[in-house]
Amino acid sequence: MKNIKVLILDYSVDRLETETIINCLPKDLDVNSLFIDTEESFPDNLIEEDYTHIIHTGSALSINEPAPFTKKVVKYIQELKDKGIWQMGICYGHQLVCSALVGKHSVRSSPNGFEVGWKDITFSDKSMRLLNIQKTEKIWQHHFDEVIELPKGSELLASNQHTDIQAYINYEMHLLGVQFHPEFNKEIGNNYFLKDRLLLEDNNFNVENIIAEGPSLDAGKVFFNFFLAQKK
């Protein structure tokens, strides 16, 4: 894809996100990534770089606890919005973008607790047409926190019984946000659940039942291709 330059801001503690996302992207794409875990890891002059698309990844961190890098990332998100650069947030990244542009009151710990597994998500009629997907799709979930208020002018694309805001788009602010993780295919997603067995079992989830399922679509291809098609 010509004239597209992607930056992945990887907030994941295990640094799994970058490789997983890159595997979903076109092979000839110009992609860079930064692992963000400290204040020093976030470059002061990053806004001067000529990226066209920014991906904010998921993380085991909670949006309700400020991280060492939070202030610098929030400033960067706001500057990107002012420049009209497209941003995509995934789970923690989705929550981070909304917190930066709406305020801390826009995120919270979900009163429904831990959402984990291959979960059904209901898409709006418009998002079905935009993404060429079914009304209900099964996609990877692993989160305790959620967004409860979107940036002004946003359109809700998807929801489910656990979390009202599962996906949205904002054409004016150039934002795409998803609570779920489109980057995880069946193999990678189920391996993650197996690695996370103790946490899941401590929260009364049956790991064997979870890994018996899988995604209903190639979510990585669908959502990242759609994001990359958005232009300033």
- Where in the sequence numbering do the catalytic residues fall? 91, 181, 183
Tokens of 138: 């099964």
The sheet with strand 167-170 has its strands ordered as 30-35, 5-10, 53-56, 86-90, 175-178, 167-170, 155-159, 115-123, 136-143
| Residues contacting residue 146 through CB under 8 Å, at least 6 positions apart | 95, 107, 108, 109, 110, 163, 164, 165, 179
- State the DSSP code for 83: H
Angle at 7 between CA 99 and CA 153, to 5 degrees: 40
Q: Is 143 exposed, middle or buried (0-12, 13-18, 19+ CB in 10 A)?
A: buried
Q: How many CA atoms lie within 13 A of 72 on its CB side?
A: 16
Strands 86-90, 53-56: pairing is parallel
Which pairs from 198-201 meet CB under 8 Å and 24+ separation? 200/116
Structure tokens at 132: 């060429």
Please, are residues 197 and 53 in contact by the beta-carbon 8 Å criterion? no
